[in-house]
Chain A
Amino acid sequence: SCRISSDGKPAKFQPPPKPIIIDRQKQREERRFLSPEFIPPRGRTDPHKFYIERKDMIQRRKVFNIPEFYVGHILAVTTADPYANEKANRFVGICIQRGGKGLGATFVLRNVIEGQGVEIRYELYSPRVQAIEVLKLEKRLDDNLMYLRDALPEYSTFDVNMKPVSHLDHEEIPVNKLQVRMKPKPWSKRWERPKYNIKGIKFELPEKKMKEAQKWSQPWLEFDMLREYDTSKIEEKIWKEVNEELKK
Chain B
Amino acid sequence: MAGWGLLGRLGGRLWAAAPGRPLWAAGAAAATGASGDRRQLGFVVRHVNSTTWWHEHLSEENVQFLKKITAEEYKAQTDSKLCPLKDEPWPLNEWKPDSIRVGVVAVKLGMMPIWTKSGKKHAVTLLKVQDCHVLRYISKEESGGKTSKLLVGGKNASPFFKSESAMKIFKEAGVPRKQKVATFNVTDDALIKPGTPLYAAHFRPGQFVDVTAKTIGKGFQGVMKRWGFKGQPASHGQTKTHRRPGAISTNKAAKVYRGKKMPGKMGNIYRTSFGLKVWRINTKHDIIYVNGSVPGHTNCLVKVRDSKLPTYKDCNKNPPFPTFFADGDEKLPEDLYDKEIFQFTDPSVTYA
Q: Which residue of B lies closest to A87 (CB)?
A: B351
Q: Which of A18-26, A59-67, A90-98 contacts B (4 or more CB under 8 A)?
A: A59-67
Q: Is A211 interfacial (CB 8 A cutoff)?
A: no
Q: Is A103 interfacial (CB 8 A cutoff)?
A: yes
Pick from A48, A103, A128: contact of B119, CB below 8 A. Answer: A128
**In whole angstroms, how far apart are the Cα atoms of A125 and B344 in the complex?**
9
Which residues, 121 to 136 on B, are CB-close (under 8 Å) to A? 121, 126, 128
Which residues, 101 to 125 on A, are CB-close (under 8 Å) to B? 102-104, 123, 125
- The answer to whether A63 and B347 touch across the interface, beta carbons within 8 angstroms, is yes
Q: Is B110 interfacial (CB 8 A cutoff)?
A: yes
Q: How far is the CB of B55 from chain A (nearest CB, A)?
A: 27
Given contacts A49-B126, A52-B282, A52-B285, contact A127 B109 (CB under 8 A): no
User: Chain B contacts of A127 at CB under 8 A?
Assistant: 115, 119, 342, 346, 348-349
User: Chain A contacts of B352 at CB under 8 A?
Assistant: 87
Q: Is A80 interfacial (CB 8 A cutoff)?
A: yes
- The answer to whether A82 and B351 touch across the interface, beta carbons within 8 angstroms, is yes
- The answer to whether A80 and B112 touch across the interface, beta carbons within 8 angstroms, is no
- The answer to whether A59 and B344 touch across the interface, beta carbons within 8 angstroms, is yes
Q: Which residue of A lies closest to B352 (CB)?
A: A87
- The answer to whether B112 and A53 touch across the interface, beta carbons within 8 angstroms, is yes
Q: Which residue of B lies closest to A129 (CB)?
A: B348
- The answer to whether A64 and B126 touch across the interface, beta carbons within 8 angstroms, is no
Q: Is A44 interfacial (CB 8 A cutoff)?
A: yes
- The answer to whether A128 and B348 touch across the interface, beta carbons within 8 angstroms, is yes
- The answer to whether A126 and B119 touch across the interface, beta carbons within 8 angstroms, is yes
- The answer to whether A52 and B126 touch across the interface, beta carbons within 8 angstroms, is yes
Q: How many residues of A contact B (CB 8 A)?
A: 28
User: Chain A contacts of B348 at CB under 8 A?
Assistant: 63-64, 80, 127-130
User: Chain B contacts of A88 at CB under 8 A?
Assistant: 350
Q: Is B268 interfacial (CB 8 A cutoff)?
A: no
- The answer to whether A80 and B109 touch across the interface, beta carbons within 8 angstroms, is no
Given contacts A87-B352, A127-B342, contact A49 B347 (CB under 8 A): no
Given contacts A46-B299, A56-B344, contact A80 B110 (CB under 8 A): no
Considering residues A43, A60, A123, which has the most beta carbons from chain B within 10 angstroms of its beta carbon? A60
- The answer to whether B298 and A130 touch across the interface, beta carbons within 8 angstroms, is no
Q: Is A45 interfacial (CB 8 A cutoff)?
A: yes
Q: How far is the CB of A217 from chain B (nearest CB, A)?
A: 30
User: Chain A contacts of B126 at CB under 8 A?
Assistant: 49, 52
Q: Is A81 interfacial (CB 8 A cutoff)?
A: yes
User: Chain B contacts of A80 at CB under 8 A?
Assistant: 119, 348-351
User: Chain B contacts of A43 at CB under 8 A?
Assistant: 298
Q: How far is the CB of A86 from chain B (nearest CB, A)?
A: 10
Q: Which residue of B lies closest to A78 (CB)?
A: B348
Considering residues A123, A128, A130, which has the most beta carbons from chain B within 10 angstroms of its beta carbon? A128
Q: How far is the CB of B285 from chain A (nearest CB, A)?
A: 7
User: Chain B contacts of A44 at CB under 8 A?
Assistant: 298-299
Render A182-203 as a binary contact track against B, CB cut-off 8 A, 1 for contact.
0000000000000000000000
Pick from B110, B287, B349: contact of A128, CB below 8 A. Answer: B349
**In whole angstroms, how far apart are the Cα atoms of A88 and B119 in the complex?**
13
Known: A52-B285, A60-B344; 12 extra A-B contacts, CB below 8 A, are A45-B299, A46-B298, A48-B285, A49-B126, A52-B109, A53-B112, A59-B344, A63-B346, A64-B347, A123-B121, A126-B115, A128-B119
**6 tightest Cβ-Cβ pairs between the two chains A and B:** A59-B344, A82-B351, A49-B109, A127-B349, A60-B344, A128-B119
Which B residues fall within an 8 A CB radius of A?
107, 109-110, 112-115, 119, 121, 126, 128, 282, 285, 287, 298-299, 342, 344-352
What would be 5 A-B contacts, judged by CB atoms less than 8 Å apart?
Answer: A45-B298, A64-B347, A82-B351, A103-B112, A127-B119
